[in-house]
Structure 1
Amino acid sequence: MAKMVISLGSSRRRKRGEMLFRFEAFCQPGYPANFAGAGGFRDNVRTLLGFAHLEAGVHGETKCWSFQLELHRHPPTIVRLFVVEEEVAASPHRQCHLCRHIGWGGHLICSKRYHFVLPRRESAAEADGLCFAINHGGGGGSEKASSKGTTTTASSRGHLLHGVVHLNGHGHLVALHGLEGGSDFVSGHQIMDLWDRICSALHVRTVSLVDTARKGHMELRLLHGVAYGETWFGRWGYRYGRPSYGVALASYRQSLHALSSMPLCVLVPHLSCFSQELPMVVTKYQAISGHKLLSLGDLLRFMLELRTRLPATSVTAMDYRGIMSEASCRWSAKRVDMAARAVVDALRRAEPAARWVTRQEVRDAARAYIGDTGLLDFVLKSLGNHIVGNYVVRRTMNPVTKVLEYCLEDVSSVLPAVAGGGVTTQGKMRVRFQLTRAQLMRDLVHLYRHVLKDPSQALTAGAFGAIQVAVRMVLDIKHFVKDYHEGLAAASTNGGFGHPHINLCCTLLVSNGSPELAPPYETVTLPAHAKVGELKWEAQRVFSEMYLGLRSFTADSVVGVGADQEGLPVLGLVDVGSAVVVQGSVGEQQQQGQNGEGHEREEEVAPAAVCEGSGGERVVDCACGAEDDDGERMACCDICEAWQHTRCAGIADTEDAPHVFLCSRCDNDVVSFPSLNC
Structure 2
Amino acid sequence: MAPSHVSRSHKQQLFSVAFGSTWFGRWGYTFLRGSYGVSRDTYTTAIESLGSHPLTEVEEIVEKYKKSLTPLECMKDLLSFMLQMRCGTRGRKKMDLNKDLWTVYDKVLMRRKNHVQTILNCKVFCKEIPLRQMSAECLTVTFVVRDADDNELPGMVGCECTTLPVNDVADLKGRVTRLIQDTYHALSNFTITEMEGEGTDELKENMWVKGDGADMDCNYVAEGGRGWLVTCICGAEDDDGEDMVECDTCKKWKHIECLINDGFKLEDNAGFICLECSTPRH
**Fold match, TM over 0.5?**
yes
Q: CA deviation at 1:451?
A: 0.7
Aligned position for 1:537 = 170
Does the 8 A contact of 1:227 with 1:301 survive in 2? yes
**Alignment pair present for 1:638 and 2:248:** yes
656 and 491 in structure 1: CA distance in 2 versus 1, 3 angstrom threshold: farther
Question: Which amino acid in structure 2 is aligned with residue 475 of structure 1?
Answer: L
Alignment partner of 1:233 is 2:24: yes
* Separation (CA, whole Å) in 2 of partners of 1:310 and 1:622: 46
Structure 2: runs of 5 or more not aligned: 182-186
1:632 counterpart letter in structure 2: E
The answer (yes or no) to whether the contact 2:6–2:98 under 8 Å persists in 1 is no
2:103 is matched with 446
Cα separation, 2, equivalents of 1:511 and 1:640: 29
CA distance in 2, matches of 1:476, 1:511: 35
| Aligned-partner Cα distance in 1 for 2:200–2:249 | 58
| Deviations 1:488-509 (CA, angstroms, capped at 9, x unpaired) | xx443x23xxxxxx21223456
C-alpha offsets along residues 116-169 of structure 1, whole Å, 9 cap, x if unaligned? Answer: xxxxxxxxxxxxxxxxxxxxxxxxxxxxxxxxxxxxxxxxxxxxxxxxxxxxxx
* Cα 1:296/1:612, change in 2 over 3 Å: closer
Q: Distance in 2 between matches of 1:646 and 1:510?
A: 34
Deviating beyond 4 angstroms after TM superposition, the runs of 4 or more aligned structure 1 residues are 508-514, 565-568
SS at match of 1:581: coil
- Correspondences of 1:653-664 after superposition (within 5 Å): 657-658=266-267, 659-664=270-275
2: distance between equivalents of 1:218 and 1:523? 37
Residue of structure 2 equivalent to 1:34: none
For residue 191 of structure 2, give the secondary structure of its aligned residue in structure 1.
coil
**Alignment check: 8 A CA contact 2:229 2:238 kept:** yes
- TM norm structure 1: 0.36
Q: CA deviation at 1:555?
A: 4.1
Q: Does 1:505 align with 2:140?
A: yes
CA distance in 1, matches of 2:36, 2:46: 14
1:628 Cα deviation (Å)? Answer: 0.8
Tell me, yes or no, if the aligned pair for 1:524 and 1:538 is still in contact at 8 Å. no
Q: Deviations over 1:461-519 (max 9, x none)?
A: xxxxxx4432232222122223333x3xx443x23xxxxxx212234566645723845
More strand by share: 1
Paired with 2:192 and 2:224, the residues of 1 have a C-alpha distance of 21
Indicate how the Cα distance of structure 1 residues 469 and 519 shifts in structure 2: closer, same or farther if over 3 A, else same.
closer
Give me the whole-angstrom Cα distance separating, in 2, the residues matched to 1:218 and 1:517. 33
Could you give the per-residue CA deviations for residues 499-550 of structure 1, whole angstroms, max 9, x where no partner exists? xxx21223456664572384535323235xxxxxx2x322211121233226
Report the AA paired with residue 469 of structure 1.
N
Inter-CA distance 253–491: structure 2 relative to 1 (3 Å threshold): same
Does the CA-based 8 Å contact 2:47-2:119 persist in structure 1?
yes
Partner-residue secondary structure (3-state), 1:241: strand
- Contact residue 248 and residue 272 of structure 2 kept, 8 A: yes
Q: Say whether residues 1:482 and 2:127 are aligned partners.
A: yes
- Which structure: larger Rg? 1
Q: CA deviation at 1:218?
A: 5.3
After superposition, where does 1:26-425 map in structure 2 within 5 Å? Answer: 215-216=6-7, 219-264=10-55, 268=56, 271=57, 278-286=58-66, 288-313=67-92
Q: Could you state the TM-score of these two structures normalised by the residue count of structure 2?
A: 0.80
Q: CA deviation at 1:238?
A: 2.1
Report the RMSD for the aligned CA atoms in angstroms. Answer: 3.1
What does the per-residue CA deviation read over 1:327-373, in whole Å, with 9 as the maximum and x for residues that have no partner?
A: xxxxxxxxxxxxxxxxxxxxxxxxxxxxxxxxxxxxxxxxxxxxxxx
| 1:647 partner amino acid | E
Corresponding letter in the other structure for 1:584: V
Q: Which amino acid aligns with 1:299?
A: L
Which of 208, 211, 232 is matched with 1:583 structurally? 208
Distance in 2 (alpha carbons) for counterparts of 1:552 and 1:248? 40
Contiguous gaps of at least 5 residues in structure 1? 1-213, 272-277, 314-435, 456-466, 496-501, 528-533, 575-579, 597-604, 674-678
The amino acid that maps onto 1:473 is T
Partner of 2:196: 557
Q: Please state whether the residue corresponding to 1:505 is helix, strand or coil.
A: strand
